Structure 1
Amino acid sequence: MPSETVLLLPGTASDEAFVRFVFAEPLSQVGAVLTAPRVRTLEERRTALESAWEGHPIVVGGISLGAHVAAAWAVANPDKCAGLVLALPAWTGPANRAPTALAAKASAGIVASHGLETALRGTTGWLHDELHRAWRGYGDQLVPHLEEASESAAPTLEELRSLDVPTGILGCTDDPVHPIGIARQWAEAIPRAVLVTTTLDAYPHALGRAVQAWLQAR
Structure 2
Amino acid sequence: MSVIQPHAAVLIPGTGSDDVFVRAVFEVPLAAVGLRAVTPAPVPGPDLVAAHLAALDAAAAAGPIIAGGISLGAHLAVEWALRNPDLCAGLLLALPGWSGEPDDAPAAVAATFGAADIRARGAAAALDSAVAGVAPWLAAELTRAWTGYGLGLADSLAVAVRPAPTLDELAKIDVPAGVAACVDDPVHPAEVAAAWARALPRAALCTTRLEIVGVDREALGRAAVLGLLRARGA
Shorter-chain TM range is over 0.9
- Aligned to 1:207, which of 220, 224, 227? 220
**Once the two structures are aligned, what percentage of the paired residues are identical?**
48
Pairs within 5 Å for 1:33-72: 33-40=36-43, 41-54=48-61, 56-72=63-79
Instruction: Tell me if structure 1 keeps the 8 A contact 2:206–2:224.
Output: yes
Q: Give the superposition deviation at 1:173.
A: 1.5
Matched letter for residue 72 of structure 1: E
Pairs within 5 Å for 1:140-159: 140-150=151-161, 152-159=162-169
- Equivalenced residue count is 216
Paired with 1:4 and 1:212, the residues of 2 have a C-alpha distance of: 19
- Normalising by structure 1, report the TM-score: 0.94
Structural RMSD (CA): 1.4
Instruction: Tell me if structure 2 keeps the 8 A contact 1:6–1:34.
Output: yes
Structure 2, unmatched stretches of 5+, are none
Paired with 2:127 and 2:155, the residues of 1 have a C-alpha distance of: 17
- Normalising by structure 2, report the TM-score: 0.88
SS of residue in 2 equivalent to 1:31:
coil
Paired with 1:61 and 1:77, the residues of 2 have a C-alpha distance of: 13
Pairs within 5 Å for 1:1-218: 4-40=7-43, 41-54=48-61, 56-121=63-128, 122=132, 123-150=134-161, 152-204=162-214, 205=217, 206-208=219-221, 209-218=223-232
Q: Give the superposition deviation at 1:116.
A: 2.1
Instruction: Tell me if structure 2 keeps the 8 A contact 1:167–1:192.
Output: yes
Structure 1, unmatched stretches of 5+, are none
